[in-house]
Amino acid sequence: MDFTLPDEHEMIQGVVRDFCEAEIEPIAQEIEEEHRFPEEVFEELADLDLMGVPVAEEYGGAGGDYLMYAVVAEELGRVSGSIGLSYVAHTSLGLMPIINFGTEEQIEKWGRPLAEGEGMGAWALTEPSSGSDASDMDTMAEKDGDEYVIDGTKQFITNASVANSVLVKAVTDPGAGYDGISTFIVDPENDDGFEVTNVWDKMGLNASPTCEIQLDNVRIPEERLLGEEGDGWDQTKKTLDGGRISIAALSTGLGQGAFDAAREYATEREQFDRPISKFDAIRDMIVSMDRKVERARLLTHKAATMYDDGEDVTRLSSLAKLDASEICREVAEDAVQVHGGYGYTTDFPPQRFYRDAKLMEIGEGTSEIQHLVLGRELGL
C-alpha cells in the first residue's frame, strides 16, 4: 500500500485492489479479445459505491475527493486499461461536469443516476475534422422556441454506445469563437436523431467502446443546456484539468501493472541456472521501471491533492498527464522486453499494457499539446 495515503484512501485502495484481482484480472485478456464492454464489472463497482467517488453523498456519490478517485482509477488501470478508461471517462467527463456546472434539477435527474452507478456517462467534444484544435467545431445547436436543434458528428467518444447520457459540445453562436460554444445533456435512448454510427476497432483498449456519433436534427429542451449559452469552452478547460489527472492516474496504474508483471517474471524465469533478475541488464531495467512509476504516482497525487484544495492545477495536471503517460508506455515496452518472446504473446499481459499505454499519450490532449499548455503556464 502507498504509505503517503490517508487511512481512508488506503482502505479504499485495498478494497479496489482485492476486487480487481478477484473479478477483473481473470477476464482482462478475454474481454479485449472479444471486444466486449463488461457491464457486470461496472454493476459490481456500483455495488461497491465506486461510480461516483468524488461526488457528495447528497447527490448519490461516495463523498470522497479527487485523490481517492485517482487511487481507484490507478487500481483499475493496473489490471485493465479498458475498464479503467471507461471508468474515468464516465466519472471525470460524463458525471463531474453535471455536478460542477448543472442546476439542482439537472444534478438530480442526470447526475445522481451516474453517481449511483445506474448508468454510464460520456462526453462528446472531438469531431472528425478537429483533433488537438478541439474548438474547431462544426456541430451546431440552433434555438427553436424552447428547444435547441443539434446537428453534427462527434468522433472518438468513449462510452457513447453504452451511455445513459452524453454531454455534447455544440456551437450556439458561430461568430463568437470560444465564447460561442455550449454544452447540452443528450439522452441517447430517447432523443430522436442520435445514432452511434461506428464503434472503432483499435490498437488496444477494445473492451472500452470508442464511438462515432451522429446528431441529426436532435431536439433538446432548453432545460438541458448545461450552464449558460457560451459557457461550453470554459467548462471544457476546467473539466480537462480533472480529466488529465484521470489519465495520469490510469497511466500510473498501467505502468504499475506492467512493472509487476516484469518483476514477477524476472524472478521466476531462469536462464543459465539463475533467475534472469540476477543479470545486471534485467535488474537495472526493472529498477528504472520502478523509479519511473513512483515518479508518475507522486506527480499524480500532488496534482489531485492540489485539485482538492481548490488550487489552479492547469500546470500540475498537464505535467502529471504528460509524464505519467510517457512513463507508462516506456515501462510497458520494457516489460515486453523483459519477457522476451513470451512478451509478444497474449499469454502474458505486457503486450496488452503496451498497446493500451499508447492512447495515454493521445487522449485528453496529446503530449505535444501538453508541452504547449506547459509552455504557456511558464510564460513561454
CATH number at residue 297: 1.20.140.10
DSSP single-letter state for residue 224: G
> Within this chain, do residues 218 and 259 fall inside the same structural domain, yes or no?
no
Question: Residue 291 domain-assigned?
Answer: yes
Question: Residue 296 domain-assigned?
Answer: yes
Question: Residue 99 domain-assigned?
Answer: yes
The whole-angstrom separation of Cα 22 and Cα 80 is 13
User: pTM for the full model?
Assistant: 0.95
Question: Residue 1 domain-assigned?
Answer: no
Q: Identify whether 364 is a catalytic site residue.
A: yes
> Within this chain, do residues 212 and 245 fall inside the same structural domain, yes or no?
no
> Within this chain, do residues 225 and 128 fall inside the same structural domain, yes or no?
yes
The whole-angstrom separation of Cα 367 and Cα 150 is 32
> Within this chain, do residues 294 and 175 fall inside the same structural domain, yes or no?
no
CATH number at residue 198: 2.40.110.10
CATH number at residue 108: 1.10.540.10
> Within this chain, do residues 79 and 154 fall inside the same structural domain, yes or no?
no
Cell of 377: 503556464
Buried b (16+ CB within 10 A) or exposed e, 189-206: eebeebebeebeebebbb
Q: What is the pLDDT of residue 134?
A: 66
Choosing from 33, 58, 364, 377, which is the catalytic residue? 364
- Show which of 120, 143, 169 is a domain's final residue: 120
The whole-angstrom separation of Cα 304 and Cα 10 is 15
Q: What is the pLDDT of residue 1?
A: 42
Question: Residue 2 domain-assigned?
Answer: no
Burial class of residue 130 (count of CB atoms within 10 Å of its CB; 0-12, 13-18, 19+): middle
Over the chain (380 residues), the average pLDDT of each successive run of 10 is 77 97 97 98 98 97 97 98 98 98 98 97 92 79 97 97 98 93 97 97 97 98 97 95 96 98 95 92 97 97 96 96 98 98 95 97 93 95
> Within this chain, do residues 112 and 237 fall inside the same structural domain, yes or no?
no
Question: Residue 105 domain-assigned?
Answer: yes
> Within this chain, do residues 59 and 14 fall inside the same structural domain, yes or no?
yes
Amino acid at 364: E
The total of other beta-carbon atoms located within 10 Å of residue 350's CB is 26
The whole-angstrom separation of Cα 356 and Cα 194 is 29
- Show which of 88, 105, 120 is a domain's final residue: 120
- Show which of 89, 120, 151 is a domain's final residue: 120
Find out whether 80 and 207 touch, Cβ atoms under 8 Å: yes
> Within this chain, do residues 87 and 42 fall inside the same structural domain, yes or no?
yes
Cell of 61: 456519490
Element (H, E) at 153: strand 147-158
Find out whether 96 and 198 touch, Cβ atoms under 8 Å: no
The whole-angstrom separation of Cα 29 and Cα 116 is 28
> Within this chain, do residues 249 and 142 fall inside the same structural domain, yes or no?
no
Give how many domains the chain has, as a whole number. 3
Domain extent at residue 154: 122-230
